[in-house]
A and B are shown apart, each in its own frame.
Chain A
Amino acid sequence: DVVMTQSPLSLPVILGQPASISCRSSQSLVHSDGNTYLNWFRQRPGQSPRRLIYQVSKRDSGVPDRFSGSGSGIDFTLKITRVEAEDVGFYYCMQGTHWPLTFGQGTKVEIK
């Protein structure tokens, strides 16, 4: 199985400041169809996960443009330009290139 490793696992941030989460996969996530199926999810306290980013850098509908995804191959990053209070929660990367689909351990984002 592809192992997804996130860092840091805990990220205290100051409101209005940027934040960045790294995700590294144990294998290349480039699919045979040419796409890279790397997704980012946020799970707010007490809620189900919701996807923010798919195929490395494509934002889902309704996701603020302060969220951006980048990377290639095995190294990927989620960036928040200016953290807001509603951004608190756990963030997970997930690869959809290889079966089974696998998630990272999660990064807890909290306000400092």
Chain B
Amino acid sequence: EVQLVESGGDLVQPGGSLRLSCAASGFTFSSYWMSWVRQAPEKGLEWVANIKLDGSEKYYIDSVKGRFTISRDNAKNSLYLQMNSLTAEDTAVYYCMRGGLHSMDVGGQGTTVTVSS
């Protein structure tokens, strides 16, 4: 069974940083693109970033370019999202999702990031 477990969400002040993690199991992690998708309170879904199988290609939505960095460790079956210079607009539930070149299929339960003073 595919399992994705996110962690690292927290309450952080504007301008602060957080690192989200996603532990994957139940599939061959190194064979899949991986993505981060977020959902602001009472809002819809927004793709944030994705990363190729070997980490050689990374793509970001414009609003996070230069502030967020996606990475992966295939030896640890883990996906990461380093988030810097956080603003209130980054407040959301962040989902780790399998896939990302043209589609994703399943996600984890999500981790909540709240940016507030």
Contacts and interface: CB of A to CB of B under 8 A. Distances in A.
B103 A50 contact: no
Interface residues of A, number: 27
A97 B105 contact: no
B95 A49 contact: yes
Interface in A37-70: 37, 39, 41, 43, 47-51, 54-55, 60
A92 B45 contact: yes
Interface of B is mostly: strand
A101 B50 CA distance: 10
Contact of B107 (A35, A50, A97, A101): A50
B105 A50 contact: yes
Interface of A is mostly: loop
A39 B61 CA distance: 19
A100 B47 contact: yes
B102 A103 contact: no
Contacts of A47: 109
A108 B102 CA distance: 24
B88 interface: no
Interface centre among B59, B103, B107 (most CB of A within 10 A): B103
Contacts of B104: 51
Given A37-B102, A60-B105, A94-B103, A49 B45 contact: yes
Nearest to B50: A101
A45 B47 CA distance: 19
Contacts of A89: none
Contacts of A54: 103, 105
Interface of A: 31, 35, 37, 39, 41, 43, 47-51, 54-55, 60, 90, 92, 94, 96-97, 99-106
Given A39-B103, A48-B95, 6 more contacts: A47-B109, A48-B97, A49-B95, A100-B59, A103-B45, A105-B44
21 contacts: A39-B103, A41-B45, A43-B45, A47-B109, A48-B109, A50-B106, A50-B107, A51-B103, A51-B104, A51-B106, A54-B103, A54-B105, A90-B44, A94-B45, A96-B102, A96-B103, A97-B102, A100-B62, A101-B47, A101-B100, A105-B44
